[in-house]
Structure 1
Amino acid sequence: MGGGMHELAHRAALEALRFWVAAANREHAPAAPDAACDVVDRAARFVCGGDAPPCLDLTRPLATVFGSLQGASAAYVRRAPLALTDDILFPSTDARVDTAATDRLRAALRAADNQSAHLPLAPRIEALFFAFQRFAWCLPSPLAGVSLYDAARIHAAVAAALTADSGLLLVGGDVSGVQEFIYSISAAGATRQLRGRSFYLQLLTEACAHYVLHQAGMPFCNLLYAGGGRFYVLLPASFESRLGEWRRAIGRLLLDAHGGALYLAIGGVRFAPHDYSESTWQELTRRIDDVKRRRFADLDDATFARLFEPTQPEPPPDVEEQSAEPLDAMGESLADLGRQLARVALLSVEPVEPRAVSFDRGKAGWNDVLRVLGLNVELLDHLCAYRVDHSRRRRVLLIDDRDPQSIALGPQDVVGTRYTVAVAQLATDRDVAQYQALERDAGDEQTLRVGDVKPFNLLAEQSIGARRMGVLRMDVDDLGDLFGRRLSRPSGLAGLAVTAALSTTLSRYFEGWVGELCRRANDDGGAGGVYAVYSGGDDLFLVGSWHRMPRLAQQIRNDFARYVLGRAPNAGETLPITLSGGITLHAARYPLYQAADDAAEALDAAKRHARPDRHAKDAVTFLGRTLGWEHFGEAADLCAALVDLVQAQGVPRSLLMVIQTLDARFRQEQRRNRSGAAQFAYGPWVWQGAYQLTRVAERSPNGVKAQIERLRDRIVGNEGVPQRFIERAGLAARWAQLLVRERSNAKEER
C-alpha cells in the first residue's frame, strides 16, 4: 500500500516539541539538525504570528479559549496535571498563578523529554505529545486562549508538513452511514452490540486517519482531530493528488467489511501557510460534501458493481426474533467488543504496516478491519493484563485518570491518556434474579450473568414509576457559527491553533467529564442506571432508566455552564456557548433506531425554541414539552414537590390531572390567539383552574392546604403575567404522574 516514515518530517516534529520544553524551562532550544532547524523556526513564526521568534511567559494566567468568543468573559485554567476532578478540570475566575505548580509542570515536561531520549523517533514524538497533553494543557502559550499543549502540537504538525513542501494540505475524512450502522439493531439485542458498534466507529475513524498519515509519512501529531466519525490531518500540499487513491483503498476495504453500509468521504484543501483562514475550513467542508454525494465513485468498475450484487435481505430491526438470529463474524466481534468495554481499563494500540487484502462479506471482525488500515487494538481490563513485548511498539492509552507511572512499559512503548465514555451498569446477583423473573413473564429465554451489562428491558424495569427506557441526545448549539464568525482569532496559522484549542476544550468535556457524571449516576446507589452509547466532540447519546435522564441532562448542562464561565451562571444570564437536549421515553422493546430518531426530533424541537428576547435554543424537550434550561430546573423542583405531596402528604392524585388539564386548555387558548397575551392571562382556563385547585386544596390534609393554594396562585394568578408558569407546572405534573404510577399493569407497560 506504500507509505512509510518521512524521517525529516518526524525529526522536525520532535524538535518543535522540544523547542517548547526548553522554552517552558527558560532554556535555549536544543540544537536541531540543520535540515530541521530552519523549518522549525519558520513554523513557530507561522503558528504564533509575528516576525520574531515566539516568547513564552508562564507567569501569565491561561484564559480559556471560550474567552475568545464574542460577548464572553475570561475564565482561567487551574495549574495541575490533567484530571477529571472538579477542582482541576473546571476553570475559575481567579487569575492568580500558582508558581509552585508551574515549576512542577515545567519539571514534568523536562523529565518526559529526558526519559524518552532512548526511544526511536516515532514513539519519542508520541511520548512527548502525551506529556504535553497531561502537563501543558493548563499552561499558556504566546497565543491568547491557546494552551501550550495546543500550540506545541500545531507547531509540530506544521513543521513536519513543511519539510516536504512549501505549501500545506488540510485533509478531512467523514464516515457516512453512521446512524444506520449504530442504531439499526433490535432493542432485544442492543446491549450486546450497541456500545461495541459506537466504539468501533470511533476506532475506525482513528484508523482511517492513521492510514492517511502513514501513506504521507507524517507523524502522529499531524492528526489534528478525530471523533464523531470525522478526522482532520495536516499534510504537505503535494499529497493532494493522492486523495483519490486513498478513497479507493479505504472504500474497497469498507465495501468488503460492511457491504456499502459505511463509506469514508475524503477531501482536501491546499494553501500557503500565510493564507490560512476560516474560509479554508469552509472550502474543505464543501469538498467533503461533494465526495459524500458520490459515494464509492472512486472505485474501479468491477469493485463498484459489487455494490449492486443481490444479497439476502435482513429482517427489519424491530422484529424481536432478530435477536435469536446468529450473528456474522463482524456482529459477533462487535458484541464481544461491547462486553470488553464494560471493564476496559486501557487500550493497547500498535501501529502495524497497512495491508492490501480482501474479505468475504461478513467474515471480518472489527480488529481485522483496523489491522488492514494499520492499527492493532487490544482492550485490557486491568493494568496487570498488559504484558511487555520487546518486539512490539505500542501506545498504552489509559481511559481514565490512572497514574501512567503505575504501568511497566516495553522498550518501545509510550503511555498516555485517552478519555473514553465506556459506562454501563453491570448486573449483580439481585439483577440476575429480577431479570430471570422478567424474562419468564415475557416468555423469552435470554440469559444474564453476574457482571454482564444490564440489558435495556432490565433498565426499564428498574425505572421509578413507569417502566420505560429513556433516551437522551444533546449537542452544542450553532457549532458551525461557533467555530466561524463568533470565534475571534488571529490571521494565518495562529487561527488554526485557536480552532484546535476550542475543539480540544469541548472534547475534554464530552469525552471526559460526561463519562464521569455517568459513572457517578451509576454508583450512587439509586434505582436503575445509565448506558452511555456515545459522548465525544460536541454531542452525546445516552440510554437508561427513564427517571435518570432528566436530572442527568440538567447536570450535564449546569456543569457545562460552569465549564464555560468558570462559575455558576447568574439568573437569566445568556451563555456564550449553549447546549440543547432531547429526552424521549419508550417501552423496553421499542425499536432502537426509532428511539434514536425520536430523540433526534426532540432535540430538533429544543433547537427551535425561541424566547421573547430572541435568545434561541439553549433548551430541552421532555415529554413533548420544550423549556429553556432557565425554567427546566423550576419544573424539576416542582415535580419533586408534587411527588412529595401525593406520596408523602396524602394529597389526592387528582391534583396532577387538574394541572395537566389546565395546561392543555392553556395551550388551546394559545393556538387560538397567536398575537398577544390577553387570552393567555384571562382565558376561561384561569377561573376554571382557580375553582378546581381550590377544591383539591379543600380535600387535602390541613398541613398542605396552604401549599396547594400558593401553587394555585402561581398558576392562575395575575402575578408575573405573562411568565407562563403553567407551562412548567404542566410538565412537572406529567413528570410526577409517571414517577408515582402504580406498577400493577406491568405486562401492558412492557
Structure 2
Amino acid sequence: MNTECNVDQIALAALLHDIGKFSYRAGVRPDSQYNVLSKEDFGRNGAHAKWSADFVRAYVNDPVVEDLVLHHHLPERARYHASSRIIRDADHLSSAVDRKPREGKGDPRHDPLISVFPSVQLSGMHDHSESLYQWNHLLRPLTLEREDTFPTRESHATSYKEGNPYRNLWDHFVREFETAGHPPTFGTALALLRKYTSLIPSATYVNVPDISLYDHAKTTAALAVCLHFREKASPFLLVQGRLSGIQSFIFGVATPQDARKGMAKRLRGRSFWLNLLADATAREMVEAADATEANILWNTGGNFLLLLPNTSRVHDAVGQITRKINTTLLQKNGGSLSLVVGSLPCSREEMKDFPSLLDHLNAIVGRKKFQKFIDCDPLFRAHGRVYEIADLCPVCGLPLTPNGTCAECRTHEALGAAIARARYLLRGTGLRFAFDEFGLSTTYDLTEGPDCSPGEAVITINSTEFLIDGVEETGFMYLGNTVPLSGTRILTLSDLAYLATGDRKIGVFKADVDRLGRIMAAGLPKDDRSISRIYTLSTRFQYFFAGYLTTLCQEFGVYRRLCPECREHAQKIEVPDSDRPGDPAVFYTWIDSEAEPCPECKKHFVPSLYVIYSGGDDLLVLGPWDHILRFAQRFHDEFTCYVCANPAITLSAGIAVVPPQLPVSIAVEEAERSLQRAKKDGRNRVVIFGESLRWEDNGYEKGFSTLMDSGLALETYVDEQIVSRSFVHTLNDLWEDTFADLGERPLDKQCLERIRRKRYLPYLKYQVAGNVRTNGKPRTRDEVERAIVPIFGWARLPLLWTILRTRGV
C-alpha cells in the first residue's frame, strides 16, 4: 500500500485531475502562481494541470490533493512522488483503454461530445457507423428535459453565437461546488461532476470525442484507489453481482384472488426492495475494500459491477458478504431468490482488454448461476412444520406472525406506498428499511422532505437540483416512480379503468431492449469496448428507462379540477369512490390538442399511468387501456430518437388489455407472454390483441404506429356519425373470417397471405358504399375507403381500438 497519502486524497485527486480542461475551455485564467509555470513544471501535454490545480487550491483547499493534481503528468516533480505516480498511471491506463485517434486535429473549445449509440453494431445488421459524427450532445447540465439530454444532429452544439457556453456551464458548476463545502464529500463531488461534465468531451484534440469528462474522471478515480492498495502483480479485482430469480420474486403470488387488494403497490415495493438490496450489497463490498463510490462502475436492475483492489482482505470480504446474503435468502425464500457473485483478478495489461475481461467474468457468473448456495452453511435443524392455509400469507405464502401479519409484505407495501410521494432517498444507519439479517449495514428511507440526521446522505429523486443546505452528502438518482396520486389518495386499478374512454379496462405494458446482453458485450467495435464506453451505455439506458420515463409519463393524465375557462376544453369524468359510495371523485381529461391548461390548473394534474418498475433496460406500466396504447407509441418513438435511430438497438413489448377485476399478477403474466412472443417473432415488435406487429411499416407489413393512426381516424368517423359502430363490428367480423386462421403461421407467410387474400375486397367495398354517410361531402366515402382498405390485412388493432373506445356512444 502506498503510505504517502490516504485513499481519500488519492481518490479526490484522481477525480479532479482533469477538471482544468473544463475551466480552460471556459476561458478562465489560473492564478498568477500557475500562469508562470512552463512545460518543464507540469509535463508535456499537461498544460491543463495548472488549471486543475488552481481549481483545487480555490475550492478544495488541500495542499496534498493540489500537488497530486498539478504534477499528475510529471510525478518526479511532485512532493509525494509515489502518490503522484498512481494518479499518472491511473490516468494513462484510463486513457489507453478509452481513447482512440481521430483524423486531423480537433478543437477542444468547440467540439461536442459524440453520442455512443451510433457506434453500436451487431453482426448481420445494417452498418450504422457512417452517422457517427452526426449525433452530438448539447453542452448542458444533466436534466430530465428532452432538449437538454437527447442526442442531436446540430453541427455546432458548442457554438459561440451566444457567448462561450462552457463559461456559463462552468460558472454554475463552480457556484454549486463552492456551496457544497470546502471540500464537499467525495459522493457530493462525484454527483456534481456527473451533473456538469457528463455531456462534455474528455479529449478532443487528437482523439475521437466520444468519452465524457465525467466518465474518464470516475474511471481514473476507481483505478487509482486500486493502485493505492496494490498488493499483488494484478492490482484489480472485478466483482460482478447479479440477483437471480427476480421475476418470480416480484410476481410470484400464492393466492392471487385473495391478494388482489394493494397488489400494484406491493409489486412496486418488491421491485424497489431488490434495488435497495443490490445497492446495500455493493456498498458493503466497497466499504470493506476501503474504496469509494467511484468503484461502483454500475448498479442497475439488480446487477452491479465493482472495480476493487485485489487484496486478500477484499477477497475474503466479498466471499463472506455473499455467503451471508445467500444463507439468509435460502432460509427466507427457499432458494427462489439468490445473489450470484463472480470475481476476476486482472493486471494492468489485462485491464486494457476490458471486453475480454467482461466475457470471462460473465462466463464465471453464468457457471455460478448453476451452483447457487453451494458455499452456504448447511442447516441441520428440524423444519417442515405443517401450516394451515389460514396461517400462511396469501401474497408470498410465508408463515404469518402470531398477530396475523406478514413482516415481508408489510415492508414491501410500505416501500411501495413511500415511493409514490418520495422526493428523497435517505441513506445511512438506523433508517426504516434495513437489511440487518443479511449482515448489511446500509439502511434507507424514502421521504417527502430532506430532513435527515448527521452522517446520512440525501439523494434527490428525479431532479439534478440536489444540493441542500446543512446536509453534508447529497446526490441525485433516477427512479421510475410515477403513480396516479390524487391529493393523498392513490387511484386503484378500478379507478384507472374509469379514466379510459369507452370500455372500462386497464392496459399492462411490458417492454425491454432487444439483445441488451449482446449489445453490452459485443455491440461496440472490439477496440472501443472500454470501461467508460460500456459504463456510458449502461447509464444512458438507465437515464431513459428510469429518468426520462418520468417526463414522458407527464403527458398522460387527468386533472382534479379546472378553472371555468379551461373546463371548456376538457371532458368531465366521474369515478366512483369505494370509500364513499355515491360520492364520486371528479376528474377532467384534456381533449383540445390546440390548447393546454393554464399554469394554475396544471398544478392539479394527476398521472394516469402506474409505473410498477422501470430501470436498466425494461419497464412495466399499468394504466387506462387507451392511455397505455398511446403511451406505448410515444415510448417507442422517443426511444428510437434517443438511440439515434440505430437499427441495432430496438425495443420489444407486450400489451395486455384486461378488466380491472383481474388479479394484477395474472394480467402481468399475460403481458409477459405477449412480450415473449414479440421476442420469438423476431424482436422489434409489439404484441397487442393477439397480433404481432412491427413498430413501423416495413414494406407491405403495416406497423403499430400506422395502425394506431388508422384507429384514431376510424374513431373520428364514428364520433362524427360518418359510420356507425355496427359498421365497425361488421368489419371486425370480416377481418376474423378472412385472417383469424393465420395466427400459427410464420410471420413471413402471414404477411404474404394478408397481401394475397383479396376475397374480402368486394364485400368490404360494398359495406363502405352502403354504410358511409357522406353528409353532403362527396369525398367522405373515398377517405373512409383509403383509411381502411390498404391496412385491412392488419386491421385488428384499429378495429378493436374503435370498438372499445366508442362503447357506450
Q: Which residue of 1 aligns with 2:15?
A: 17
SS of equivalent to 1:274 = helix
User: For each residue in 1:678-716, what CA deviation from the matched residue of structure 2 results, as whole angstroms up to 9, or x when unmatched?
Assistant: 865453xx3434224423432332237854545446755
* 1:346 matches 2:424: yes
SS of equivalent to 1:349 = strand
SS of equivalent to 2:421 = coil
Paired letter, 1:495: S
SS of equivalent to 2:527 = coil
Q: Which residue of 2 aligns with 1:443?
A: none
Q: Which residue of 1 aligns with 2:114?
A: 63
**Given that residues 475 and 538 in structure 1 are in contact (C-alpha distance below 8 angstroms), is that contact kept between their aligned partners in structure 2?**
yes
Match of 1:734 among 800, 803, 808: 800
Mapping of 1:695-706 within 5 angstroms? Answer: 695-703=767-775, 706=779
Mapping of 1:382-531 within 5 angstroms? Answer: 382-383=449-450, 386-387=451-452, 389=453, 392-401=454-463, 403-405=465-467, 407-410=468-471, 413-427=472-486, 451-488=488-525, 490=527, 495-522=530-557, 525-526=588-589, 529-531=608-610
**Given that residues 68 and 487 in structure 1 are in contact (C-alpha distance below 8 angstroms), is that contact kept between their aligned partners in structure 2?**
yes
Q: CA deviation at 1:58?
A: 4.5
**Given that residues 21 and 110 in structure 1 are in contact (C-alpha distance below 8 angstroms), is that contact kept between their aligned partners in structure 2?**
no
Counterpart CA distance in 1 for 2:505 and 2:651 is 25
Q: Which residue of 2 aligns with 1:599?
A: 671
Change (3 A) 1:578 1:155: same
Change (3 A) 1:339 1:370: farther
Q: Which residue of 2 aligns with 1:174?
A: 242
Q: Which residue of 2 aligns with 1:628?
A: 694
Q: Which residue of 1 aligns with 2:653?
A: 581
Counterpart CA distance in 2 for 1:681 and 1:371 is 59
Q: Which residue of 1 aligns with 2:67?
A: 31
Change (3 A) 1:286 1:338: same
User: For each residue in 1:417-460, what CA deviation from the matched residue of structure 2 results, as whole angstroms up to 9, or x when unmatched?
Assistant: 11211111124xxxxxxxxxxxxxxxxxxxxxx61211222222
Q: Which residue of 1 aligns with 2:190?
A: 129
Change (3 A) 1:41 1:188: same
Q: CA deviation at 1:606?
A: 1.9
**Given that residues 238 and 307 in structure 2 are in contact (C-alpha distance below 8 angstroms), is that contact kept between their aligned partners in structure 1?**
yes
More relative contact order in 1 or in 2 (CA 8 Å, sep 6+)? 1
Q: Which residue of 2 aligns with 1:41?
A: 88
Counterpart CA distance in 1 for 2:240 and 2:4 is 21
Q: CA deviation at 1:22?
A: 2.7
Counterpart CA distance in 2 for 1:64 and 1:151 is 15
SS of equivalent to 2:135 = coil
Q: Which residue of 2 aligns with 1:146?
A: 211
Change (3 A) 1:200 1:50: closer
**Given that residues 469 and 545 in structure 1 are in contact (C-alpha distance below 8 angstroms), is that contact kept between their aligned partners in structure 2?**
yes
Paired letter, 2:167: D
Counterpart CA distance in 2 for 1:473 and 1:106 is 41
Counterpart CA distance in 1 for 2:627 and 2:688 is 13
Q: Which residue of 1 aligns with 2:367?
A: 290
User: For each residue in 1:490-549, what CA deviation from the matched residue of structure 2 results, as whole angstroms up to 9, or x when unmatched?
Assistant: 36xx71111111111111111111111113313575398110011111111111111111
Counterpart CA distance in 2 for 1:47 and 1:307 is 53
SS of equivalent to 1:367 = coil
Change (3 A) 1:699 1:451: same
Q: What's the TM-score once normalised by structure 1's chain length?
A: 0.81
Counterpart CA distance in 2 for 1:679 and 1:216 is 63
User: For each residue in 1:641-692, what CA deviation from the matched residue of structure 2 results, as whole angstroms up to 9, or x when unmatched?
Assistant: 1112223225222332233233334435757998698865453xx3434224
Q: Which residue of 2 aligns with 1:103?
A: 167
SS of equivalent to 1:473 = strand
User: For each residue in 1:310-332, what CA deviation from the matched residue of structure 2 results, as whole angstroms up to 9, or x when unmatched?
Assistant: 6666466599xx9xx95322222
Q: Which residue of 1 aligns with 2:716?
A: 644
Change (3 A) 1:707 1:575: farther
Match of 2:146 among 77, 81, 86: 86
Counterpart CA distance in 1 for 2:378 and 2:171 is 58
**Given that residues 18 and 113 in structure 1 are in contact (C-alpha distance below 8 angstroms), is that contact kept between their aligned partners in structure 2?**
no
Counterpart CA distance in 1 for 2:303 and 2:672 is 20
SS of equivalent to 1:80 = coil
Change (3 A) 1:681 1:368: closer
RMSD: 3.4
Counterpart CA distance in 2 for 1:141 and 1:421 is 30
* 1:332 matches 2:410: yes
Percent of paired sites with the same residue: 26
SS of equivalent to 2:633 = helix
**Given that residues 469 and 588 in structure 1 are in contact (C-alpha distance below 8 angstroms), is that contact kept between their aligned partners in structure 2?**
yes
Counterpart CA distance in 1 for 2:315 and 2:396 is 44
SS of equivalent to 1:92 = coil
**Given that residues 557 and 609 in structure 2 are in contact (C-alpha distance below 8 angstroms), is that contact kept between their aligned partners in structure 1?**
yes
User: For each residue in 1:705-748, what CA deviation from the matched residue of structure 2 results, as whole angstroms up to 9, or x when unmatched?
Assistant: 8545454467557xxxxxxx2243222102211212239xxxxx
Q: Which residue of 1 aligns with 2:567?
A: none
Mapping of 1:204-243 within 5 angstroms? Answer: 204-238=277-311, 239-240=314-315, 242-243=317-318
**Given that residues 370 and 376 in structure 1 are in contact (C-alpha distance below 8 angstroms), is that contact kept between their aligned partners in structure 2?**
no
Unpaired segments of 5 or more residues in structure 2? 25-47, 54-65, 69-79, 122-127, 254-258, 560-587, 591-606, 697-702
**Given that residues 768 and 784 in structure 2 are in contact (C-alpha distance below 8 angstroms), is that contact kept between their aligned partners in structure 1?**
no
Counterpart CA distance in 2 for 1:672 and 1:261 is 36
Q: Which residue of 2 aligns with 1:612?
A: none
Counterpart CA distance in 2 for 1:271 and 1:152 is 21
**Given that residues 679 and 685 in structure 2 are in contact (C-alpha distance below 8 angstroms), is that contact kept between their aligned partners in structure 1?**
yes
Match of 1:376 among 436, 443, 447: 443
Q: CA deviation at 1:171?
A: 0.7
User: For each residue in 1:323-382, what CA deviation from the matched residue of structure 2 results, as whole angstroms up to 9, or x when unmatched?
Assistant: xx9532222222122222121111121268xxxxxxxxxxx9743549951222122213
Counterpart CA distance in 2 for 1:595 and 1:375 is 35
* 1:75 matches 2:135: yes
Change (3 A) 1:252 1:486: closer
Unpaired segments of 5 or more residues in structure 1? 353-363, 428-449, 610-615, 718-724, 744-750
Change (3 A) 1:550 1:273: farther
Counterpart CA distance in 1 for 2:375 and 2:209 is 43
* 1:561 matches 2:640: yes
Structure having the larger proportion of residues in helix: 1
Counterpart CA distance in 2 for 1:306 and 1:620 is 50
Q: Which residue of 2 aligns with 1:187?
A: 260
Counterpart CA distance in 2 for 1:451 and 1:425 is 10
Counterpart CA distance in 2 for 1:554 and 1:452 is 29
Match of 1:249 among 283, 308, 324: 324
Change (3 A) 1:205 1:164: same
